[in-house]
Chain A
Amino acid sequence: MAGEIDRDTLSVPPDGRPLSEQPAWRQDFPIDWPQDHYVERRDFVKFLTLTSLAFTVGQFWIAGQNWLRKRQGLPEMRRIAGVNEVAVGATVVFDYPAMHDSCILVRLSDAEFVAYSQKCTHLSCAVIPRPDQGVIHCPCHEGFFDLRTGRQVSGPPPRPLPRITLEIRDDVIYATGVEIRTI
């Protein structure tokens, strides 16, 4: 009994004419479930090819980005603050390397300074250092980074905070570069 009915083309268009005489959109938006779910081999192969092509192009894109970044060289050295201007446990917010790249400098002890980008690696919220707890806190999704290393401790952040390399010359703290870490 099931063989008598062509189950793939059950629905009849309102004008009752066969599918070959219908406008092309009817084949793209069929009412019958089996036709709606049918994927042609050609479409599937097209999907596979284009997707793998996109992945390949993405790899070249990442390589190109890396090459461009290396070619730019180190960013310019910039003065952050004098050593005496920062008390132990205090924080200084500064922009490095560009105008709107907020960074934080924390004085851990008399001789120890750390500086990180203020942009959380999860969704770019501004992170807040908590020197008393030894962590950097991102309030958006309760992400925590270790204050000494900048590595993620808990929460959603996928990567450590970019570290700003520092240099102290004649009691003045300078930012000398950005160290982006992936793990």
Chain B
Amino acid sequence: MKPDHLHFFIDPSRCIGCQACVQACSECDTHRGDSMIHLEYIDRASSIQTVPVVCMHCDQPTCAEVCPADAIKRTADGVVQSARKPRCIACGNCVSACPFGVPEVYEERKIMMKCDMCYDRTSEGRKPMCATVCPSQALFYGTRDEIERLRPQSTPINRFQFGGQAITTRVFVMAPRGLAGLAPHLDVTAAMDEYAPARPLALKMAAAADPFDDVEI
């Protein structure tokens, strides 16, 4: 049973894209070689900023709602577990349904596996593996007091709006304190519609001459 006073906080702005969490996760014996955490690029074309994606452990788990085989269960401490092996039929409904893009189907093993917050560790009060290795502490596991003391500029948010679907999660995302005061939840789909204004981009190249002038074919 995960202790109630310990929470998982994700601070995307601190992510430096080092992939340490991915490496640490894939070394776990329960899913050796496969990482249950992955890094998403926010806007690959214009930025190298990444976001670590772990299971958010929703209070209304959409993956479990859509599971036709009744394979995704949530333990009493609020952690949504990986698919139960005897039940999972690897249909991939959860993959399509999860608003955060967390579950993955492993075709060769015919099972869905996802982040379970390192249940073997957190149920004993230890930190998840990714949180122990993150050098910039973009992944933080601890108490509310600790995070408030360490990050005075940010505030944890666990309410998200995906179109008409409102979701509260066990995992918190750190948002700037000023923004969090304006809206108590993150409207994810609205943020996706908002395109940043196009800005001119010039690549500095040696004069305007054809760089392939002296190439002989």
Nearest CB in chain B: distance from A26 CB, A = 10
Interface residues on chain A, number (Cβ under 8 Å): 16
* Residues in B neighbouring A10, C-beta threshold 8 A: 59, 74, 76, 78
- The segment from A28-36, A41-49, A102-110 that touches chain B is A28-36
Nearest B-chain residue to A31, judged by Cβ: B64
Secondary structure at the B interface, as helix, strand, loop or mixed, is loop
Residue B189, interface by CB 8 Å: no
Residues of chain B from 1 to 39 with CB closer than 8 A to chain A in the complex = 4-5
Nearest A-chain residue to B4, judged by Cβ: A1
Residues of chain B from 62 to 97 with CB closer than 8 A to chain A in the complex = 62, 64-65, 70, 72-78, 81
B75 and A33 form a contact (CB under 8 A): yes
* Residues in A neighbouring B77, C-beta threshold 8 A: 7
* Residues in B neighbouring A29, C-beta threshold 8 A: 70
Secondary structure at the A interface, as helix, strand, loop or mixed, is loop
A14 and B76 form a contact (CB under 8 A): no
Nearest CB in chain B: distance from A163 CB, A = 43
* Residues in A neighbouring B59, C-beta threshold 8 A: 10-12
Partner of A14, one of B70, B81, B165: B165
Residues of chain A from 1 to 60 with CB closer than 8 A to chain B in the complex = 1-2, 5, 7-8, 10-14, 29, 31-34, 36
B74 and A33 form a contact (CB under 8 A): yes
* Residues in B neighbouring A2, C-beta threshold 8 A: 4
Nearest B-chain residue to A7, judged by Cβ: B76
Known contacts A1-B4, A14-B165; A32 and B60 CB within 8 A of each other? no
Partner of A31, one of B4, B5, B72, B165: B72
* Residues in B neighbouring A8, C-beta threshold 8 A: 76
Residue B103, interface by CB 8 Å: no
Nearest CB in chain A: distance from B27 CB, A = 27
Partner of A11, one of B4, B5, B60, B165: B60
Q: Which residues of B contact A (CB under 8 A)?
A: 4-5, 59-62, 64-65, 70, 72-78, 81, 165
- Which are the 7 A-B pairs with shortest beta-carbon distances? A7-B76, A31-B64, A33-B75, A33-B73, A29-B70, A12-B60, A1-B4
